[in-house]
């Protein structure tokens, strides 16, 4: 049980770290271009972006946990890891 919790926390931590690094390097430029975009009327308010993105990165961490704990074959697991890394980095 303790091992499962450790793996889950590690998986979520990896995803949140990726999100933090992405926001750290782009945060300074957002105020210069994003605010000047012509946005549609249904655009959500700015204060929602941080909690929504945090939630999405937590869900990505949960998906990594599910990949790690999966009982599938090695090749399928490798494809899942590659897809996960591509999704988190881009």
Residue 67 near residue 81 (C-beta atoms within 8 A):
yes
pLDDT for position 82: 93
The dihedral built from the CA positions of residue 38, 42, 47 and 51, taken in this order, carries a sign that is: negative
Rounded CA-CA distance 35/73 in Å is 47
**The two three-digit tokens of residue 22, written as one number:** 């992405």
pLDDT means per 10 residues, the chain with 90 residues, are: 90 93 79 82 89 94 93 91 85
pTM for the full predicted model: 0.80
């Amino acid at each position: 049980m303790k091992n499962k919790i450790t793996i889950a926390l590690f998986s979520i931590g990896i995803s949140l770290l990726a999100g933090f690094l992405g926001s750290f390097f782009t945060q300074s430029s957002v105020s210069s271009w994003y605010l000047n975009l012509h946005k549609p009327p249904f655009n959500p308010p700015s204060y929602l972006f941080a909690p929504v993105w945090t939630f999405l990165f937590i869900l990505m961490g949960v998906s990594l946990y599910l990949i790690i704990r999966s009982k599938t074959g090695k090749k399928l697991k490798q494809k899942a890891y590659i897809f996960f890394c591509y999704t988190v980095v881009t």
